[in-house]
Amino acid sequence: MQTISTIDPSTAHVLETFEPFTAIRLEATLERARNAFSDWRTTSFTERAKNLRAAAGQLRSRKPDLAAVVTREMGKPIIEAEAEIEKCASACDFYAEHAPGFLADERVASNAALSYIAYRPLGPVLAVMPWNYPFWQVFRFAAPALMAGNVGVLKHATNVTRSSLEIERVFRDAGFPEGTFASVIVPGKDVEKMIDDPRIVAVTLTGSEQTGMSVAGAAGRNLKKTVLELGGSDAFIVLADADLDAAAKMAAKSRFQNSGQSCIAAKRFIVEDGVYDAFCERFVAVTEQLVIGDPRERTTTLGPMAREDLRDTLAGLVKETVARGGRIATGGHELKRDGFYFEPTIVLDVQPGMPMFDEETFGPAAAVIRARDADEAVRLANDSRYGLGGNLWTRDLDRAKSIASRLESGGVFINGMTASDPRLPFGGVKHSGYGRELSWFGIREFTNIQTVWIGPDQSHGAGGTAAE
């Protein structure tokens, strides 16, 4: 059986080698998940919250070590990795506190003596997760799903296998019963087999558009619920009345955080003609202040890309965009050093039909597009098969709210950076996926929304309703 290796993207050296699960071990894991669900579904919210708060404690007490694992495996600057671990702990606290209210029975007036809506757990949910936020992507699924009474089976990206095992350890050391949350080490080709298994009742995926189509197809054949959070090519619209200094600073942070490897990173910067040159000048100046280096150093603000093939793909997108008329304002090349580094890059005068406009640019490269006015900016923003998030910069908030209603995206952040927040629903439209994570919408995605009718109501006569 072929082994799985993790590689330090800052050096290109192998970190660890793992043996994939055998068929027997995978079978045992799925059976434990099914058995664990039988008991876990009967626990009280108080019991579940106790375990989830303990998981938050584990994350915080082990934050330096867990953040170091993230940095070693996918190159995230250490300060960003520590912030990711803390965000996971906060999500655990949030759902430990709010899940009972989100899932409380809702009484509904009907022709019954009593009728209400109840939210029941479904069972073992398969989570197919990516490498770019190796802890956060998992916890934003796991915290609500476990509080709802489900159990989780994690199939993580193979290049963050140690992160996957450490996440399992966090839940185990927090006192979650055996089988309530388990990581499996299997290649991507085994995902469809797991979806076919009757013990898996639903699937959540954060990943590429192509992987989403594959997972949705397999789940559809098995009539299993899915939530898909896929790629994005988020627009960052700057109107003529925007605070250009603030917009430029946030543009650099939005594009280059996590080395630009984020589904909801701003990728297409659509700027109204009257302030195009002034914004670009500021954007370039802030970008050139980024500190490229070893992600273990606390002064580093831009680390390597996670894999060599990802860097090469990005280089190809930039090169082809320039060949079609784009103009490099800064960066544009691989760095001549060990590891998978690419210069922070800004390409000006990008237009529809160029790769950096049409495709998801996953890495530290920004496409800047000129718009005649606000209406054209909206048209350009919507001229994408993706629809995950987006930004809008203007001082006119009434106008901003009107424009937001016309943008085809799961979120619009006005004068601020797009980010996921447990208090707000998160997800996209079009080829960015469907379903929602976080908030009360997310915790209800993997529940049986059950109608309970007790009656009939004798106080107003027997009455009657038409059959379906």
What CATH number is attached to the domain comprising 265?
Answer: 3.40.309.10
445 is catalytic: no
Burial 129-147 (b: 16+ CB within 10 A, else e): bbbbbbbbbbbbbbbbbbb
Dist. CA 137–CA 395, nearest whole Å: 33
Instruction: Please tell me the total count of domains within the chain.
Output: 2
Return the pLDDT at 129: 98
- With a CB cutoff of 8 Å and minimum separation 6, the contacts of 263 are 132, 206, 229, 230, 231, 232, 388, 432
**Which sign, positive or negative, has the C-alpha torsion 34, 35, 36, 37?**
positive
Contact 444, 119 (CB under 8 A): yes
The string of pLDDT tens digits covering residues 149-165 is 999 999 999 999 999 99
Neighbours of 207 (CB within 10 A): 23
Whether 243 and 222 map to the same domain: the answer is: no
Return the pLDDT at 468: 61
280 is catalytic: no
Whether 226 and 238 map to the same domain: the answer is: no
Dist. CA 13–CA 430, nearest whole Å: 38
Residues in the chain: 468
Whether 281 and 386 map to the same domain: the answer is: yes
Q: Exposed (0-12), middle (13-18) or buried (19+): which is 299, by Cβ within 10 Å? A: exposed
The string of pLDDT tens digits covering residues 386-426 is 999 999 999 999 999 999 999 999 999 999 999 999 999 99
Whether 281 and 408 map to the same domain: the answer is: yes
Whether 407 and 448 map to the same domain: the answer is: no
Phi then psi for residue 190, to 5 deg, are -85, -5
Whether 333 and 436 map to the same domain: the answer is: no
Whether 197 and 241 map to the same domain: the answer is: no
Residue ranges making up the domain that contains 445: 4-230+432-452
The answer, yes or no, to whether residue 26 has pLDDT greater than 80, is: yes
Whether 24 and 63 map to the same domain: the answer is: yes
Whether 91 and 206 map to the same domain: the answer is: yes
Q: How far is residue 391 from each of residues 267, 271, 426, 427, measured CA to CA in Å?
A: 10, 12, 15, 15
pTM of the full structure: 0.96
When pLDDT is cut at 50, 70 and 90, the band that residue 460 belongs to is: low
Helices and strands in the chain, H and E counts: 15, 20
When pLDDT is cut at 50, 70 and 90, the band that residue 286 belongs to is: very high
Return the pLDDT at 466: 55
**Tokens, residue 130:** 């990516």
In the chain, helix, strand, coil percent, each to 5? 45, 20, 35
The string of pLDDT tens digits covering residues 74-125 is 999 999 999 999 999 999 999 999 999 999 999 999 999 999 999 999 999 9
The string of pLDDT tens digits covering residues 243-269 is 999 999 999 999 999 999 999 999 999
| Residue the block writes with tokens 């003609």 | 273
| Residue the block writes with tokens 């946030």 | 250
Which residue of the set 88, 92, 263, 280 is catalytic? 263
Q: What is the dihedral of CA 60, 61, 65, 67, to 10 degrees?
A: 10
The answer, yes or no, to whether residue 139 has pLDDT greater than 80, is: yes
Which residue of the set 73, 229, 359, 360 is catalytic? 229
